[in-house]
Amino acid sequence: MDAPRFHVEEIRFAERDVALRLPFRFGAATVTACPQVYVRARIRFEDGRTASGCAAEMMVPKWFDKNPALTNEQNFEQLRFALRDAREAYTSEADAQTAWTHFAANYAALMARARAKGLQPLVAGYGPALIDRAIFDALCLHAGTGFAAAMSANLGGIDIAGSGLADDLAGFDMPGFLARQRPVERIAARHTVGLADAIDDDDDALPDATADGLPTTLVAAVRRYGLTHFKLKLCGDTARDIDRLERIARAIDGHAQLVTLDGNEQYADADAFGAFLDRLLSTPALWTLAKKTVFVEQPIRRDAALERDVRSLGRRIPLLIDESDATLDAFVRARELGYTGVSSKSCKGFYKSAVNAARCARWNAADDDTRYFLSGEDLTMQAGLGVQQDLALVSWLGLSHVERNGHHYVNGLAAVPEAEQQALLRAHPDLYESSDGAVRLAIRGGQLALSSLASAPGFATGQPGAGISWDAMRSVY
- When pLDDT is cut at 50, 70 and 90, the band that residue 1 belongs to is low
Residue 205 lies in a domain: yes
* Residue ending a domain, choose from 162, 178, 200: 162
Position 373 pLDDT exceeds 80: yes
Same domain, 275 and 344: yes
The percent of residues in the chain predicted with pLDDT above 70, rounded, is: 99
Same domain, 312 and 419: yes
Same domain, 240 and 143: no
Q: Where are the beta strands (DSSP E) in 274-415?
A: 293-297, 319-321, 341-344, 373-376, 401-404
Same domain, 201 and 74: no
Same domain, 123 and 254: no
Residue 372 phi/psi, 5-degree rounding, is: -95, 140
Half-sphere CA count of 112, side-chain side, radius 13 A: 6
Q: Could you give the 3-state DSSP secondary structure of residue 37? A: strand
Residue 167 lies in a domain: no
Same domain, 277 and 239: yes
pTM: predicted TM-score of the whole model, two decimal places: 0.96
Residue 180 lies in a domain: no
Give pLDDT, residue 89: 98
Please write the tens of the pLDDT for every residue from 433-442.
Answer: 999 999 999 9
Same domain, 330 and 267: yes
**Cβ within 8 Å of residue 167, ≥6 positions away:** none
Integer Cα distance of 61 and 55 in angstroms: 19
Q: Which CATH number covers residue 438?
A: 3.20.20.120
Same domain, 193 and 137: no
Residue 175 lies in a domain: no
Please write the tens of the pLDDT for every residue from 230-287.
Answer: 999 999 999 999 999 999 999 999 999 999 999 999 999 999 999 999 999 999 999 9
Neighbours of 182 (CB within 10 A): 9
Expressed as residue numbers, the domain containing 200 is 186-467
Residue 16 lies in a domain: yes
Residue 262 phi/psi, 5-degree rounding, is: -125, 115
Distances (CA, A) of 267 to 192, 248, 406: 19, 20, 26
Position 211 pLDDT exceeds 90: no
Same domain, 140 and 240: no
Residue 8's H or E segment, with its range, is strand 6-26
Residue 411 lies in a domain: yes
Same domain, 153 and 213: no
Q: Could you give the 3-state DSSP secondary structure of residue 127? A: helix
Give pLDDT, residue 209: 61
Mean pLDDT of 372-398: 96
Residue 178 lies in a domain: no
Mean pLDDT of 183-206: 92
Question: Hey, what long-range contacts does 247-250 have (CB within 8 A, 24 or more apart)?
Answer: 247/199, 248/193, 248/199, 248/218, 248/289, 249/285, 249/286, 249/288, 249/289, 250/285
Integer Cα distance of 222 and 251 in angstroms: 9
Q: Which CATH number covers residue 107?
A: 3.30.390.10
Integer Cα distance of 425 and 213 in angstroms: 20
Mean pLDDT of the chain: 95
Residue 177 lies in a domain: no
Q: How many domains does the chain have?
A: 2
Same domain, 127 and 206: no
Position 2 pLDDT exceeds 90: no
Same domain, 293 and 196: yes
Please write the tens of the pLDDT for every residue from 161-190.
Answer: 878 899 999 999 999 999 999 999 999 999
